[in-house]
Amino acid sequence: MPDPGSGSRPDRSGSASGGPGRGSSGAFVLADESAGAKVLVKAAVGGAVAGALGVAFGAARDTGEGVLAVGSGPGEWLLLGPAGAGPALVERWRAEPDDGLVTVLDATPGRTVLRIDGPASTAALAKVCAVDLGVTADGSAVRTSVARVPALVVRDGDGFLVIGERSYGEYLVGALLDAGAEFGLVQERRP
């Protein structure tokens, strides 16, 4: 997660603009951050790789290298990094010593990452999400359904990352835009 003193999040979107929802405009924005790297790591919960990742199931943290490590399941992590970083992340985590079985896979083409950012994020997601995200702390990660499809939702400041299968991407964008319309949600357009 971001350094609380910095006031900004690392840009994992691949956008030169610093990513969506940044700044002090108070805008309510939906942005597609799917261009960023997405790497799955599976390893023993108490193993060396788990220790090196340093994030528990249900939590997320910024590694300080522009990568968000998400404890997406027991013994399972999703690493979100800048566009093009997938191969380097795979190589780095495959090389991490561990006594048990470790599986590392570049899942970039198979996942959609959407950022819903702004003051009405929780209210908009409440319309389509099975979990009360209003009680989640910054840095929490929840597997749930969003608009009746499985998703991983990560609290990131006053916004959320919604991560789902790539095949649901367009559907999720439409569902989130519909849920946020009454709050003034706009879709960020990138060149």
> Could you tell me the pLDDT band of residue 15, with boundaries at 50, 70 and 90?
very low
Contact 108, 116 (CB under 8 A): no
Average pLDDT of every residue of the chain: 87
Locus of tokens 């939590």: 59
Domain residue extents for the chain: 29-34+110-187, 37-108
**Phi, psi (5° rounding) for residue 19?**
90, 170
Residue that wins the pLDDT comparison between 83 and 20: 83
Phi, psi at 131, each rounded to 5°: -120, 145
CA proximity to 20, closest of 157, 148, 140: 157
| pLDDT tens sequence across 93-119 | 999 999 899 999 999 999 999 999 998
In the chain, how long is the greatest CA-to-CA distance?
52
* Fold agreement (29-34+110-187, 37-108): no
Right CATH for 37-108 from 3.60.110.10, 3.30.70.1520, 3.30.390.50, 3.90.230.10: 3.30.70.1520
* Region at 92 (left for phi over 0; alpha for psi -120 to 50; beta for the rest): alpha
Min mean pLDDT across 38-42, 82-86, 157-161 is at 157-161
Domain 29-34+110-187: CATH class, spelled out: alpha beta
CB under 8 Å to 115, separation ≥6 — which residues? 13, 19, 20, 21, 29, 30, 31, 33, 156, 159, 160, 161, 162
The gap between the terminal CA atoms of the chain, to the nearest Å, is: 27
User: What is residue 158's predicted lDDT score, i.e. its pLDDT?
Assistant: 82
In the structure, what pLDDT confidence band is assigned to residue 87 with cuts at 50, 70 and 90?
very high
- Beta strand 29-32 with 68-73 is unpaired
- Mean pLDDT for the stretch of residues 55-63: 95
Helix (H) or strand (E) holding 170: helix 169-180
Cα gap 161→142, rounded to integer Å: 10
With b meaning 16 or more CB within 10 Å and e meaning fewer, what string describes 95-113?
Answer: ebeeeeebebebbbeebbb
